[in-house]
Amino acid sequence: MLDMKWIRDHKEEVQKTADGKGIAFSVDELLKRDREQRELLQQTEVLRYDRNRLSVQIGELMKAGDTENSEELRGRVKQINEALARLETQLELLRSEVERLQLLVPNPVSPDTPMGRSDADNVEIKRVGAQPAFSFVLRDHVELGELHGIIDIPGGVKIGGTRSYVLKGAGLLLHRAVQQLALDLLLKKGFTPLEVPLIVKDQALVNTGFFPLGKDQTYAVQGEDKWLVGTSEVPLISYCADEIVDVGQPVRLAAVTTCFRSEVGSAGRDVRGLYRVHQFSKVEQVIICEPDAALSDQLLKEITGHAEEVLQLLELPYRVVSVCIGDMSQKTYKQYDIETWMPGRGAYGETHSSSNLHDFQARRSNIRCRGNDGKLKFCHTLNNTAAASPRILIPLLENHQQEDGSIRIPEALRPYMGGLQILQINGS
């Protein structure tokens, strides 16, 4: 939640950002309600002052034995109390409305964020690795998965409905191997791993900027004010909520979790295979640092680089794009996506996302640090997907397939696969 004074001073920027991010929000409506709230608050403060002043006078009159005048003042105090009760009811309603509108205010975007309406307007920064040239008719990951008996989508649909799947045998081992590879890399980079709750309170999602706008993407726990997480970013950030954090060195946290997303609004999109599913696993990296724009921008590049290292170890071609304003979430200040080449789609597909949120999440979550002057300041927060599976299995299977249908296991994954070098059709 952004500071209200900042919003008043930057109303044009706020509205422009909301429009750019496609958020139905009126800054004029917020400022109108905010003004009404402040005026009403001033009225209540005047009435409270008058009531306190009259109460003192009543006490003095009672001591002097002036019952008649003290009763008259008591009547006036009663009228003030009745007026205060009405005003406080109105004030509480206004406070709720201001808070509701303030929770819709988007984080401003960096000056170098591209303009645009969708991922089609994202700007490519670089490409790494050559797209493989196949001398045979390639199979997509669904065909390869069925051929090897490692992906069973009909079985998953039978159990969980659409956008469900079952990974079997080497499919599960690959799924786990990629995650462990990514986690081991983060451990070498100084990240502290955490096992975190996957069911979180409503406030945790509000504080991290996923609510109120992302409720339709989140599974609720019926009968409780709790939800299933779509990313461990939520519990990792919430772990530091309401804390004064030592950021002499940036705080680096990581988690490996199962995640859940309802994918509302994606009907008909990426329906084949493992690209867009309800349940998946992520290795997430989160950084909390001092509120220094140059530092957090440097750290954004750093965590993006970690995801690139994972893809390089998996020997996969990819590209990095700067995400445009229309493809950003409410909470994001600056974002890079990594798209990996998926031969079956004949296109790059998003596999990783890195975001710098500046102090947006920290303000909502009340995560602070002390500056050199000793004053408390809100921290900057960043996050990145080091690995997300089973989506990463799409390029992993498709890029490393061979003419006979076998799949080469990248060297970096072999220690996690019992030394297996080639996944043969017969499973050997």
> 82-107: buried (b, 16+ CB within 10 Å) or exposed (e) per residue?
eebeeeeeebeebeebbeebbbbbbb
User: φ and ψ at 230, to 5 degrees?
Assistant: -100, -5
Question: Which residue pairs from 294-297 have beta carbons closer than 8 angstroms and sit at least 24 positions apart in sequence?
Answer: 295/250, 295/380, 296/356, 296/358, 296/380, 296/382, 297/110, 297/334, 297/356
Q: Are the CB atoms for 253 and 286 separated by under 8 Å?
A: yes
d(CA 205, CA 227): 8
**8 A C-beta contact, residue 175 and residue 389:** yes
Query: What is the distance, to the nearest Å, from the Cα of residue 413 to the centroid of all Cα atoms in its chain?
Result: 29
Within 64-188, residue ranges assigned H as helices are: 67-102, 141-148, 153-160, 170-188
CA atoms within 13 A on the CB side of 383: 23
Active site residues: 261, 276, 350, 353, 391
Contact 351, 392 (CB under 8 A): yes
